[in-house]
Amino acid sequence: MPSNFPVHTGRYALSYHTFYVLFWVIFACSLNTTAVQAAESPLTLSDAMSRAMAQNPRLQVFGLRLDGLQGRRITADLNPALEAGAEVENFLGTGDVRGLVGAELTLTLSSTIELGGQRQARVSAIDSRLGLVEAERRAETLDLLGQVTQRFVATLALQEKLQLAADAVSLAQSTLDIVTRRAEQGATPQAEVLRARAALTQSQIEQSRLQSELVSRKMALALLWGDTSVEFTQLQGDLFQFGASDSFESLYQRVSDSPAIQVYASEQRVREAEIQLARSQSESDINWQVGVRRMEEIDDIAFTAGFSVPLFPAQRNRGEVRAALAARDEIRFQREATLLNLHSRLFDAYQQRQQSIAAVEQIRSQMLPNLSEALTQTREAYESGRYSYVEWMAAQRELLAAQRALVDAATTALLNQALIEQLTAQPLAGR
């Protein structure tokens, strides 16, 4: 029989190496979809990330957006179309123009000469949007990897809690055996046996609840790569593997270069291109037309030519230029607002991570050894009749609570660590 409650500090090694490698792959825009091998057990974090990147529908749409923009670029690069026309005059009238006697048939060819670099401006606007979509894809990929990490850590924590629950059931069974033996010896009342049985049932119920919740968590994780069934049996990782603590100032400096902020730089280029496009459209286009006319009455042919130019185009397009300038300036304030929001999120995550890591160290180095020894001594005292059943159960609950607190603190630290790495788009030092 176990003399005390076992202390779990993680049995696997959570590999974040691939996490960092994937980050740099993202930055290099190497996001080509690759085939993923069939699921194997246990599942590592790098495996989960690879599957999500290859199969998540959120990332697949960006390829379609790029294809669509490439098609629009082809159209934008075209010169104005040539137009052919035909016109018949002076026919089916009366007198001298009855029937087709006085008819005049004119065949024309017309088009437009664009001035002000409009075609190049259209192409530049599409190219800038291509860059924006690429930036959005990097940001979306980073968000997805962060979500995968968070769900992986949460599921791993629940897996650890389930092991603790199994240990709690074992401890409750051991307690029932000891209490039953003492009751048979007449050293303790039968009521304590009944209470010990109830405690065992309660621990079994909690174990069953955690098992059900773990199934749900695994499903939520698998959905990130499009699976509607869970093919892995367990996760491989260590809740107690933390990176080095960089200063908050150095972390925030990285935020300005993260994909979430780079999106605004790309969008700024889009707005600049739209301004140039609007200004180019302020130039007057020249509409030209040439043709040949046959006059049926005199059986002669003549050539025709003409052109037209819109008047005051700059004034008519002034509103579009103004709107484009306002849209560009808006991006700057949106970027500043996003930076402030990221600062707040990063600061909170940094503080919670530091506090949680400190809590983990205190629980592991101080609380658990003391409570484990206290439980051993309390059990021995109970078996010798010096302590009551209530005191023994209190010692068990205290150790169980400390074990769960250790897992919760480690989970909080890792979740905030994942958020920090997501916000900065870089791993913490020493990872």
Give residue-wise pLDDT tens across range 201-231.
Answer: 999 999 999 999 999 999 999 999 989 889 8
Stated as kind and residue range, the H or E segment containing 36 is none
Res. 102: pLDDT tops 60: yes
Residue 32: which pLDDT band, with cuts at 50, 70 and 90? very low
> Which two three-digit tokens encode residue 125?
């606007």
Is pLDDT larger for residue 306 or for residue 376?
A: 376
Report in angstroms the alpha-carbon separations of 282 from 79, 272, 298, 320. Answer: 18, 16, 45, 9
> Which two three-digit tokens encode residue 325?
């300038």
What pLDDT does 104 receive? Answer: 75
Mean pLDDT of the chain: 83
Stated as kind and residue range, the H or E segment containing 421 is helix 389-424
Give residue-wise pLDDT tens across range 128-153.
Answer: 889 889 989 999 998 999 999 999 99
Share of the chain above pLDDT 70, in %: 83
Q: Which residues contact 191 (CB under 8 A, 6 or more apart)?
A: none
What pLDDT does 267 receive? Answer: 84
Res. 284: pLDDT tops 80: no
What pLDDT does 29 receive? Answer: 36
**Sign (positive/negative) of CA torsion 158, 160, 164, 166?**
positive
Res. 243: pLDDT tops 90: no
**What does the DSSP assignment read for 314-382?**
HHHTHHHHHHHHHHHHHHHHHHHHHHHHHHHHHHHHHHHHHHHHHHHHHIIIIIHHHHHHHHHHHHHHH
Residue 95: which pLDDT band, with cuts at 50, 70 and 90? low
What pLDDT does 398 receive? Answer: 96
Least Cα distance to 89 among 79, 103, 70, 71 occurs for: 103
Least Cα distance to 35 among 51, 19, 59 occurs for: 51
Q: What are the φ and ψ backbone dihedral angles of 292, each rounded to 5 degrees?
A: -130, 135
Any idea where the domains of the chain sit in the sequence?
35-79+114-282+317-424
Domain 35-79+114-282+317-424 homologous superfamily, CATH:
Outer membrane efflux proteins (OEP) (1.20.1600.10)
> Which two three-digit tokens encode residue 2?
């176990």
**Side by side, which strands form the sheet with 104-113?**
83-89, 104-113, 286-295, 300-308
How far is the C-alpha of 255 from the C-alpha of 420, rounded, in Å? 9
Residue 16: which pLDDT band, with cuts at 50, 70 and 90? very low
Report in angstroms the alpha-carbon separations of 381 from 1, 177, 191. Answer: 16, 16, 19
Residue 272: which pLDDT band, with cuts at 50, 70 and 90? confident
**Bridge partners for 286 per DSSP:** 113
Do you know the residue count of the chain? 431
Share of the chain above pLDDT 90, in %: 42
286-295 vs 104-113, strand pairing mode = antiparallel
Residue 1: which pLDDT band, with cuts at 50, 70 and 90? very low
- From 6-20, 113-127, 139-153, 243-257, the region with the lowest mean pLDDT: 6-20
Mean pLDDT over 87-109 rounds to: 68
Q: Tokens 């991570």 appear where?
A: 353
CB 148 within 8 A of CB 52: yes
Least Cα distance to 410 among 347, 352, 365 occurs for: 352
pTM: 0.77
Plot region of 232 (φ>0 → left; ψ -120 to 50 → alpha; else → beta): beta
Give residue-wise pLDDT tens across range 341-355.
Answer: 999 999 999 999 999
Work out the angle between the directed axes of helices 17-27 and 45-55 (0-180°, nearest 10): 30
How far is the C-alpha of 63 from the C-alpha of 141, rounded, in Å? 13
How far is the C-alpha of 57 from the C-alpha of 151, rounded, in Å? 18
**What does the DSSP assignment read for 40-96?**
-SSBPHHHHHHHHHHH-HHHHHHHHHHHHHHHHHHHHTSPPPPEEEEEEES-S-SGG
What pLDDT does 380 receive? Answer: 94
What pLDDT does 85 receive? Answer: 83
Q: Tokens 């049926």 appear where?
A: 296
